[in-house]
Homo-oligomer: A and B are copies of this chain.
Amino acid sequence: MDMKIALIGFGLVGQSFVKILKNKHEKLLEAYSFDAQLVAVSDILKGSVMDPKGLDLGALLKTVRETGSIEGYPGGVKGLDSLDTIRRSGADVVVEVTWTNLETGEPGLTHIKEALRSGKHVVTSNKGPIALALRELLDFAKNNNVQLRYECTVLSGTPAISLGLEGLAGQDICEIKGIVNGTTNYILTEMEQGGDYSEVLARAQEMGYAEADPSADVDGWDAVGKICILANTLMGSDIKPKDVIREGITGISYEDIMEARKEYKRIKLIAHAWKTEEGVRAKVSPEKIDLSDPLANVNGVTNALTYNTDSLKEITIIGRGAGGAETGSGILSDLLALTRIN
């Protein structure tokens, strides 16, 4: 199947995705008859280029690597902004990988709406729009007879959403529980070795596992966005980030961790959603988890989710939750799903 792709956002994830598309082209053609062409890229910092005949992926990657911009790409139409790129690129699919804003969802929300409105499938790794407006966007997609896929908004390329939607199709998922933020799990894991919170945070920042302003992670906002996405995708709810009870890890001390240890438990920042008679409830907070629970043994930056269903009971998936190659490959799996699904 031929597929024309417009890529909005050309940072780490966008570039990793293009590398995968380039390196796997032959294999994908052979295994899935999947023949993708990148017809446009637009990035607010690096510029934009469009060529309906398909961009040369090697030249594109070389240009950005050498100049930090794509303005020097040989050929194509330059200078379109992201919305014009979406409208004019002639793509079948828009891959939206700009930055996450959990308060407004922008600019991703506008990009996704514009793409769906113009009859293009959307694949995105952008948590903001999906956490804030999933129900609206899915209705939008349905009315325009296109698909919206967003595997990488949770656990990056680890296929947690596909597992819930496709693998567990027909199951009633009554509870979702997991470790969905690598930064906080790294900090909690390191604190076990004897560091206190601020010391370990500083080390995580040095290693690039935590941002200079770590609040989105350590205050639980990132996990809040993800549990909204999971609950609204797999439990039929329409909860918003503001509806989620939230407590971060900044109050956790080494003593708390040792106390839990004595009870054969580990403290983890748990994102949790569960069905009640009044609807779905969700919460992000540090919880003491029994060492016999698979989640207790998920350490460092690794992520994990447990779905509790009517027939299968607990199903756990463990994998990486971040990274360029990981997210790029998750975008690819979403694109392949578009070729498979009616």
CA distance A286 to B295 in the complex (A): 25
Tell whether A157 is near chain B: CB-to-CB under 8 Å: yes
Interface pair A319/B316, CB less than 8 Å apart = yes
Interface pair A157/B318, CB less than 8 Å apart = no
CA distance A170 to B312 in the complex (A): 27
CA distance A103 to B45 in the complex (A): 62
CA distance A336 to B23 in the complex (A): 33
With A162-B166, A163-B163 as known contacts, state yes or no: A171 contacts B312, CB within 8 Å.
Answer: no
CA distance A163 to B315 in the complex (A): 12
What is the interface size of chain A, counting residues whose CB is below 8 A from a CB of the partner? 48
CA distance A314 to B317 in the complex (A): 11
Interface pair A167/B169, CB less than 8 Å apart = no
CA distance A158 to B332 in the complex (A): 24
With A168-B333, A333-B171, A340-B342 as known contacts, state yes or no: A317 contacts B320, CB within 8 Å.
Answer: no
Contact code string A284-322 (vs B, CB < 8 Å = 1, else 0)? 000000001010011100000000011111111111100
Tell whether A329 is near chain B: CB-to-CB under 8 Å: yes
Tell whether A24 is near chain B: CB-to-CB under 8 Å: yes
In terms of DSSP, what is the predominant structure of the interface of chain A? Answer: mixed
Chain B residue at minimal CB-CB distance from A296: B297
With A312-B326, A313-B320, A315-B317 as known contacts, state yes or no: A166 contacts B340, CB within 8 Å.
Answer: yes
Minimal beta-carbon separation of A167 from chain B (angstroms): 3
With A333-B168, A340-B342 as known contacts, state yes or no: A318 contacts B320, CB within 8 Å.
Answer: no
Q: Which residues of B contact A336 (CB under 8 A)?
A: 169-170
With A166-B162, A170-B333, A171-B333 as known contacts, state yes or no: A311 contacts B326, CB within 8 Å.
Answer: yes
Q: Which residues of B contact A159 (CB under 8 A)?
A: 163, 166-168, 315
Interface pair B317/A316, CB less than 8 Å apart = yes
Q: Which residues of B contact A166 (CB under 8 A)?
A: 159, 162, 166-167, 333, 337, 340
Could you list which residues of chain A lie within 8 angstroms of chain B, going by C-beta atoms? 20, 24, 27-28, 32, 157-159, 162-163, 166-172, 292, 294, 297-299, 309-320, 325-326, 328-330, 332-333, 335-337, 339-342
Pick the 8 closest A-B CB pairs, nearest first. A159-B167, A311-B329, A162-B167, A169-B336, A170-B332, A316-B318, A315-B319, A311-B325
8 A-B interface contacts by CB (under 8 A): A24-B170, A157-B311, A159-B167, A163-B167, A169-B332, A169-B333, A170-B336, A292-B297
